[in-house]
Structures are given as C-alpha cells and as structure tokens.
Amino acid sequence: MGRAHEVRKVAMMKTSLMKSKIYSRFGKEIYMAAKTGGLEPDTNLALKKIIEKAKAAQVPGDVIKRNIDKAKGGGGEDFFPVRYEGFGPGGSTLIVEAMTDNVNRTFGEVRACFTKIGAKLGVTGSVIHQYQYVSMIVFEGWSEDEALEAIMEAECEVNDISTEDGLVTIIGPSSQLDQIKEALLAKNPELEVLIEKVTYLPNEYVTLDESDIQKFHRFIAMTDELDDVQEVFHNIQLPIIEE
C-alpha cells in the first residue's frame, strides 16, 4: 500500500521536529488531561496514556511533572482542539489539527500558512470525507498471520493488515487502538511497536511534481513553527529519499 516510507517518517518524528515543538504538544495534552480528569495517572487513564506516549517521544520527566503541577490550581488557560481543512498544492488535501487557547489567533496563523504557498483553507467538512479516522499500529519482528491470529482471538476488528520492508501495519477502528496493541503484546511481549496512534488515513494518495513538493515542505516548515499546531495530515505520496 506504499506506506512504509511514510511510516518510517512518522516513527522518526522526534528527531525531525524541534524538541520544543514536541514538548509543547505533549505539555498541553498533559495539562488538559490532568486539569479535567485528575492529577493521578493511576485513576486518570487519559493522563496515563498521554504520559506513556510522551515518554516514548523522549519528553523529559520534568516537563511532564511541570504540566501536571500547573493543573493543580484548576485555573489558568483552557486549550481547545480545533481542526482546519484545506486544499494544498497539486490537488492535494491537508488537515491541520491544533490545540489553542485563542481560536482567532490560531485561525489567522494557519490561514497564513495556506496563503503563503498559494493554497486554500476550506470550510469544515470540505476535505475530511476523503479520509478514514482509524487506529494505526506498526511493528516489526512478527508476521501478518501471527498478528492476525492474536487480534482475532481478542475479538478485535481489523480494517487492513499489510507488510512492507519488514514492517507490519495494522489498520483498525479508531476506538480499538489499545485493545489491538494489548492483544499483540499479550501473545508476543517482545514485539517492537514503532507506531501506535489514531490518525487520518487518506482514501487515495496524489503524486506532486517537484515544485509542488517544495510548496508542501514549506507549508510543513511553517506549521512546525506554530506552537498551537499539533499535527498535519495529508494525502501526498512523498518521494523516497535514499539514505
């Protein structure tokens, strides 16, 4: 399905993005989870999961603790998730997810990123119907058949399973990420899980020429500099860069 290169790129996110960006992203999520659900990870499962993901992304413990402590008072800013959809270069589509305490500021900043590359910000619903909101788990060290058997025994659903360049990718319902991962690890505790996330997966990919690829990379660079932007999803088949 041509996902291996994109999967490897996602798996290496912590090395390709600025550390401050990653810390900001997880800091907001930890803060809001602690503020709304309680400060103890043992009784706040949402907070526990976010902390686990933050540690996997090498977020320092003091950053995690600072944002939990910040939520103790119960006051301070509230961050709200917002999603922007638009049309990128060469017929591509883009989904930008953000978490903000000022929607007007974030809207203006994201719209400017679209405008600067000649792209167009769309209305809500203009793009998202071209994507599936799914769980994605990527691992290595086990075969498709072994993984599928483990998942079926746990009565989890699977939308798709594929292997490319030694990486097995499982796509399932967005609500079953944890169940699928637990089913795999129950059968193979040594399994190396590279990616576990709920994501927007495009129904079809588009290929861009060199000029449009450069515009896309410029868009990503600009959104990387925005503290409010959490993640950008797209339907672009990126060229494989030989290492």
Residue at 99 is within a domain: yes
Check if the beta carbon of residue 19 is closer than 8 Å to that of residue 57: no
Inform me whether the pLDDT recorded for 68 exceeds 60: yes
Q: Are residues 124 and 176 in the same domain?
A: no
User: Quick one: 124 and 208 in the same domain?
Assistant: yes
88 three-class SS? coil
Same-domain pairing of 8 and 106: no
Residue 239 lies in a domain: no
Q: Among residues 128, 77, 105, which one has the least CA distance to residue 226? A: 105
Element (H, E) at 15: helix 13-16
Range of the domain at 195: 131-202
Confidence of residue 57 (pLDDT cuts 50, 70, 90): confident
134-143 per-position pLDDT tens digit: 999 999 989 9
User: Same domain for 32 and 62?
Assistant: yes
Entry pTM: 0.80
Average pLDDT (17-40) is 85
Summary count for the chain: helices (H), strands (E): 9, 8
Confidence of residue 222 (pLDDT cuts 50, 70, 90): very high
